Amino acid sequence: MTQVLIVYASDYGGTKKMAEAVAEGVRSVSDCTAVLKEAEQASSEDLLASDALVLGSPVHMGAPDWRVKKFIDTVCSGAWMKDRVVGKVGAVFACGSGYGGAGGGCELTMLAMLNNIAELGLIIVPLPKSTPGYKIAGLQWGPYARAHDIDLNPVGVSDEQVEASRHHGANIARTATLLKGRNPFAG
């Protein structure tokens, strides 16, 4: 059984809805299970017991929510120090208002989470442009849901954004299954 841990923070439910879609995608792959945790509930045990880590966050001022960062600082950094998750799989997603039409800082937000993923020594799963839903909900680093219109009114996470998130979850689960028990960093 391949286990994928999804850690997220959510203010109004948009990132949570994406996290659930990622989990659904994971579970759609045979012999794969998803563990969904809010950032403040996720533990070191959750991380160590999983084959993949997916981080999801609202976009706040061009970087992840402080609760996601607290999880990184207080849980992930210990695993980094002792090289405990090297060779597993990692990925990210984000949700934001996207004010301005260019993602409102979602790219650096995803990179801030990916920097942690890379430091942990996780193999990174991006989001190919051929993913269903991508043309509304895509960035090369992972699915992105713009959950507000151009005047900052909330419009929620759309079907395409759910679809891209679900495919992302399945992609991650398949990659983790292919690499499980076969750490490519172990010579």
Contacting its own copies within 62-81 (CB under 8 A): 62-67, 69-70, 72-74, 76-77, 80
According to the binding rule CB under 8 A, does residue 130 interact with its own copies? yes
According to the binding rule CB under 8 A, does residue 159 interact with its own copies? no
If you search the block for the tokens 């160590």, which residue do you land on? 48
Pick the stretch among 12-20, 30-38, 41-49, 57-65 that binds its own copies (CB under 8 A). 57-65
According to the binding rule CB under 8 A, does residue 138 interact with its own copies? yes
Question: What are the b/e assignments for 11-47, b being 16+ CB within 10 Å?
Answer: eeebbbbbbbbbbebbbebeebebbbbbbeebeeebb
- Could you tell me the CA-to-CA distances from 168 to 43, 120, 133, 151 in Å, in that order? 23, 20, 10, 29
Q: How far is CA 172 from the centre of its chain?
A: 10
According to the binding rule CB under 8 A, does residue 153 interact with its own copies? no
Give whichever of 36 and 143 is closer to its own copies, judged by the CB atom: 143
Pick the stretch among 13-21, 30-38, 42-50, 142-150 that binds its own copies (CB under 8 A). 142-150
According to the binding rule CB under 8 A, does residue 175 interact with its own copies? yes
Residues between 78 and 107 that touch its own copies (CB under 8 A)? 80, 83, 86-87, 98-107
Pick the stretch among 13-21, 30-38, 42-50, 125-133 that binds its own copies (CB under 8 A). 125-133
Least gap, CB of 49 to its own copies (angstroms): 20
According to the binding rule CB under 8 A, does residue 22 interact with its own copies? no
- How many C-beta neighbours within 10 Å does residue 129 have? 10
According to the binding rule CB under 8 A, does residue 27 interact with its own copies? no
What is the C-alpha to C-alpha distance for residues 80 and 86, in angstroms, rounded to an integer? 8
